[in-house]
Amino acid sequence: MRHELMETTRRSLDRIAVDAQRASRTPALAAGVAHRGDLLWSAGVGTADLADPSVPLGVDTRFQIASNTKTFTATMVMQLRDEGRLGLDDLVDDHLPGSDHPGVTVRQLLSHASGMQREPVDAEFWDTLEVPPAERFVSDWNATERVLQPHTAWHYSNLGYIALGELVAHADGRSFAESLQSRLLDPVGLRDTTLQQRAPQAGRYYVPPFSDAPVDEPVLFTGILAAAGGLASTVADLVRWHAFLLDPDEAVLRRDTVSEMLEPHAIRDDRFSGAQGLGFAVVRKDGRTWFGHTGGAPGGITGAYSDRESGLTAVVLMNNSVAKDPEGTAIRLGEEVAAHDAPLPARWTPGPAPSAAVQELLGVWFSEGSAFVLRAREGRLEAVVGGADPAVAPSVFEQDGPDSYRTVSGRERGERLVVRRRDDGSIRLLSWATYRFTRQPLGFGERAV
């Protein structure tokens, strides 16, 4: 059943949108909140194209999404990894012919932890806005500086994502644009997400601090720069993109790969409220974890974030180069619905009967005096700490041999759970991550019988 927002929620969302448009002095703002791809609310505030007021402003209006493009580039890299064509800890030098930057890995570039300088080699780049020719990229890359040691700090790098775009193109034997279309835009159904300008298109503006008169801005992230920020898209398509990330078609992208991309690799700020995953930012706010990205380019400031637990997505697109706080605005929109008018969770449904092997493991076990509960849910063996907050995700196991299980998510992910039996076949103890679990609480000095 489609969730209908209360009128009070809609008014609050409208106010957040108008306040953001005013604070950013952006000629146009388009925004939306969705639940697993179902658009619950949207707004268009202002005028999309000041030279042509007939251009519509809404969920289908195309804006420059700038660095939100990086989420697509990162996803294609992960597809290549899943296909066995590269490893995250492979050296870029091994995949980009002619590259000569020893020690730079794919993972470092994905997580902005490589220490590579922020922008392409030309020190005049942001003054001239001249896009370097593609055929010169490798020599330019080799001339760039590693300004920090890897993994010492989060250091944002457009340069790193340009290199990843070249890596994708080389691995696929076709242009970055062709890979993007074939690997993601077509399979996910993102018909309005393009590397070309196409109507209905919002204008691109800079609003000076001492004037209310907008100035036209150019399209910057073209050619070799496209992988770092070249896409234009709409509220509707970004909602569709995030709906895919929340519930991926595994023929396109594995669900566990999305989870891997959202694992923190570098802390973004000294308040420990935000981290960088592989291509996505991860932000904690009021007990929820939002993942997504912002974008900033001439005439395009954007934010798109989702919460996996609630299934909510919030998107904001603005067309003033100096619009404010796209991450905060998007998350405020999502939080308004999550806190005051969240869709109902899915109803409980019975699961299948557990196998005989799983059945004898169910119940309470003790380790170091603490109780743990093993249970069967939706056909899976799970473990939770006794009395733990129900919101804490359980550990989930998959059987990988007789009396052997692998932890595939949650606490102790990657570790084995092994069943130790007596001579008569009954269970003496469980060994999980090498710690013993027994039916009765035992001290370290008491041996399990």
> Looking at 340, 364, 382, which one is the last position of a domain?
340
Query: What pLDDT was estimated at residue 123?
Result: 67
d(C-alpha 13, C-alpha 178), whole Å: 38
The share of the chain scoring above pLDDT 90, in percent, equals 89
| In-domain check, residue 444 | no
Residue 262 domain-assigned (yes or no): yes
Q: Which helix (H) or strand (E) holds 242?
A: helix 235-246
Residue 318 and residue 374 in one domain: no
Q: Output the domain CATH number for residue 426.
A: 2.40.128.50
325 plus 387 within the same structural domain: no
Which is nearest to 201 in space by CA: 274, 299, 120?
Answer: 299
| Residue 446 placed within a domain | no
Task: Give the CATH number for residue 159.
Answer: 3.40.710.10
Asked whether residue 221 falls in the same domain as residue 332, the answer is yes
* Dist. CA 33–CA 40, nearest whole Å: 6
pLDDT of 18 higher than 80: yes
Higher confidence at residue 5 or residue 449? 5
Give the model confidence (pLDDT) of 190-223 as tens digits: 999 999 989 999 999 999 999 999 999 999 999 9
**Average of pLDDT values for 170-174?**
96
Give the C-alpha separation, 230 to 134, whole Å.
14
Contact 405, 361 (CB under 8 A): no
Q: What is the pLDDT of residues 289-305, one digit of tens each?
A: 999 999 999 999 999 99
Single-letter amino acid code for the residue at 168: V
Phi, psi angle pair for 136, to nearest 5°:
-100, 0
Establish if 442 belongs to a structural domain. no
Q: Are residues 405 and 321 in the same domain?
A: no
Q: Are residues 232 and 119 in the same domain?
A: yes
* Pair (100, 208) in one structural domain: yes
Residue 271, pLDDT > 80, answer: no
What is the Cα–Cα distance from 341 to 324, expressed in whole angstroms? 26
In a domain, 447, yes or no: no
Name the domain count of the chain: 2
The confidence score (pLDDT) of residue 345 equals 85
Integer CA distances (angstroms), 279 to 188, 225, 246, 354, 399, in order: 18, 16, 15, 38, 31
In this predicted structure, the answer to whether residue 258 has a pLDDT above a threshold of 70 is: yes
Q: Does residue 299 share a domain with residue 218?
A: yes
351 within some domain: no
Two tokens at 129?
A: 């806005």
At 431, give phi and psi (nearest 5°): -120, 110
Among the candidates 340, 371, 402, a domain finishes at 340
Task: Say if residue 217 is in the same domain as residue 157.
Answer: yes
Q: Which helix (H) or strand (E) covers residue 408, if one does?
A: strand 404-409
Tell whether 282 and 227 lie within a shared domain: yes
* CB of 326 closer than 8 Å to CB of 318: yes
* Cα–Cα dist 56/353, whole Å: 54
**Look-up: residue for tokens 């449904």?**
349
Let me know: does 131 contact 179? Beta carbons within 8 Å: no
Q: What is the mean pLDDT of residues 350-376?
A: 95
Would residue 228 count as lying in a domain? Answer: yes
| Same domain membership, residue 177 and residue 255 | yes
- Predicted pLDDT of residue 163: 97
Q: Per-residue pLDDT averaged across 41-68, rounded?
A: 98
- Within a domain: 143: yes
Its domain, for residue 371, covers 356-437
For residues 244 and 381, membership in a common domain is answered with no
Write down which residue in 287, 305, 340 finishes a domain: 340
99 vs 91: CA distance, rounded Å: 10
Is the same domain home to 303 and 389? no
